[in-house]
Structure 1
Amino acid sequence: MSDIYSNRAMNQKPFLIPEELILYREEIKKSVFITQLNHTPSVAEAKAFIEEVKSQHPAARHNCWGFVAGRPEDSMKWGFSDDGEPTGTAGKPILAQLSGSGVGEITAVVTRYSGGVKLGTGGLVRAYGGGVQQALKLLQTIEKKITTKLLLELDYGFVAIVQGLLIQFDAQEVEADYSQQVKMVVNIEVRHVSDFTQSVINKSGAKVMVTPINGKQ
C-alpha cells in the first residue's frame, strides 16, 4: 500500500522537459553524426519527430533514436532503435544518456552519414552515446507542473481569504463568475490540492465549497 502512495506522490511532482530543439554535429573518422533533441510529450509525438528527422535526411545511412516520452522515471514510455547499426551500439547508448539525464518528454535522433571507415562496436557506442551527451549539455529545460482545476463556490465575504490561499499555494484563478455568489475556477498543482482544500475549509468554517473538475492540464 505504501508503494501505491509513493508512486502517486511521485507522479504529482514537477519534472524537467526540453525548452526547444537542440542540434549537435560532429565528425568522427569521416562519419558525420547529427544529434537532434526535441520535446515530445507522448510516444506518438516521439515517433512523429523520428519520422520528421528521417525525412530531413533521406540519404543518411542510419537514423538511430531513443525516447523518454513521459516522466523521466516512467520506463513504460521508453523506446530505442539501432536502425541498422550492430545490435546494442546505438539505440541503447542513446537511451542510457536520456534516461540518466533527469529530463522527461524528450527524444533524441542521431543521424549518421558514413565516411567509409569502420568505427567498431565500441566506437559506435561512444559516438552515439557521446553525441547525445554533448547535445544534453546544450539543452535548456523548463519545469513541467502537474496541475488540475478546482471549482470554488463562495460568498463575497470569503474572497479575500481564498485569494490569500491562492498566493500561498501558487494557484491561479482562470475563470470567475461574480454574481449573487462567487464561482471561481482555479488551476493548482495536483500535489497541493489536499492541503489547499483543507486550508479553505478551515479558514472559511467549511462555508466555501471546493469541487474537483475532471482532467489534468
Structure 2
Amino acid sequence: MTYPVPAKQVETLYEIKKSKFIACAGFANSRESAMALLESVKQQYPDARHHCWAYVFGNPNAPSSAAMADDGEPSGTAGKPILNVLQHKDIGDIMIIVTRYFGGIKLGAGGLVRAYSAAAQQAIDALDVRQEIKLEPLSVDIDFKHEQFVRHLVEQAKGKIANCRYKSSVMIDIELPLDALDNFKKQMAPIAFKVSAKNE
C-alpha cells in the first residue's frame, strides 16, 4: 500500500492587498513532527501575526488523523480553508502552515478564506512528492542458522530490520510492506519460527 507524501519542504509567497501569506508545506506523520515543523516556522517568522495550519496524517484516502488551527484569525477563515485544500489532494502525511503578515488593509472573512486557500494551493502546486510505503512491524523468533535467510527475505520484500536480539534463539524485529506479508510467511513456512505483531 503506497501513497504520495511530500518529498521535501517547500515555501511559497502569496500577496494580496499588501498582506503577505507565506505557505510552508512539508512532511509530518505525527502530532510531534507537525508541532516541530510549526515551531520551526514560528522561529523563522517570529514577528508574524498568525501561523495558521492544517495537517493530514496517513493515507489521504483514509487519513489516520487531521487537524487545523486558525491561530487568532476569525474562526473558520484560515485553518479550515487550508485543511480543505489538503483534503482535496491525494497527498498524505502532510502539513501546511500559512504565516500571515498583515498589510494594513482588511480582507474580510471571505477574503481571508480565499487568501488562505490560494496560499495553501500555491504551496501544493510547488510540492514534489514521493511514494510512501506503509510498513507493518513484526517480530520473528528463529533459530540462529536461519538468520541470514530471514535477512535475505526482508531485503527481497523491500522491508527493514529494526532490531535483532540474541538469546537462546534470534528475535528479529522487522518491518514489511503490507502486500509482502503473505509471501514472506509462505517463504518462511519450511523453517521453524514464531511470528507476532510487534505491538502485541
Q: Which residue pairs with 2:198 in the alignment?
A: 215
1:72 has 2:60 as partner: yes
The one-character-per-residue Cα deviations of 1:83-105 (angstroms, maximum 9, x if unpaired) are 12121111001011112222222
Give the corresponding residue for 2:167: none
1:139 and 2:122 aligned = no
List runs of 5+ in structure 1 lacking aligned partners: 1-12, 177-181, 202-206
**Are 1:43 and 1:77, in contact at CA under 8 Å, matched by a contact in 2?**
no
**TM-score when normalising by structure 2:** 0.78
Candidates 16, 19, 30, aligned match of 2:7: 19
Residue correspondence of structure 1 range 65-214 to structure 2 within 5 A: 65-75=53-63, 77-147=65-135, 148-149=137-138, 151=140, 153=143, 167=156, 169-171=157-159, 187-201=175-189, 207-212=190-195, 214=197
Q: Deviations over 1:63-90 (max 9, x none)?
A: 1111113332455521111112121111
Unaligned runs of 5+ in 2: 165-169
- Mapped to 2, the partners of 1:186 and 1:62 lie a distance apart of 43
- Which residue identity does 2:34 align to in structure 1? A
Which string of whole-angstrom CA distances, capped at 9 and with x for unpartnered residues, describes residues 35-55 of structure 1? 001212211221222122122
Tell me how many residue pairs correspond in the alignment: 193
1:33–1:111 Cα contact (<8 Å) kept: yes
CA contact (8 A) 2:153 2:184 kept: no
TM-superposed deviation, 1:196: 2.5
Deviations 1:163-200 (A, max 9, x none): 58964x44567899xxxxx9987652133212331244
The two structures, once aligned, show a CA RMSD in angstroms of 3.3
Find the aligned partners of 2:154 and 2:50 in 1 and give their Cα distance.
54
User: Which protein has the larger Cα radius of gyration, Structure 1 or Structure 2?
Assistant: 1
Structure 1 residues 67 and 53, CA gap change in structure 2 (3 angstroms): same
Whole-angstrom CA distance in 2 between matches of 1:99 and 1:172: 30
Cα 1:198/1:128, change in 2 over 3 Å = same
- The one-letter code of the counterpart of 1:28 is I
Between Structure 1 and Structure 2, the one with more helix by share is 1
2:49 and 2:154 map into 1 onto residues whose CA distance is 57
CA distance, structure 2, for counterparts of residue 66 and residue 58 of structure 1: 19
Instruction: Tell me if structure 2 keeps the 8 A contact 1:150–1:210.
Output: no
> Do structure 1's residue 36 and structure 2's residue 29 form an aligned pair?
no
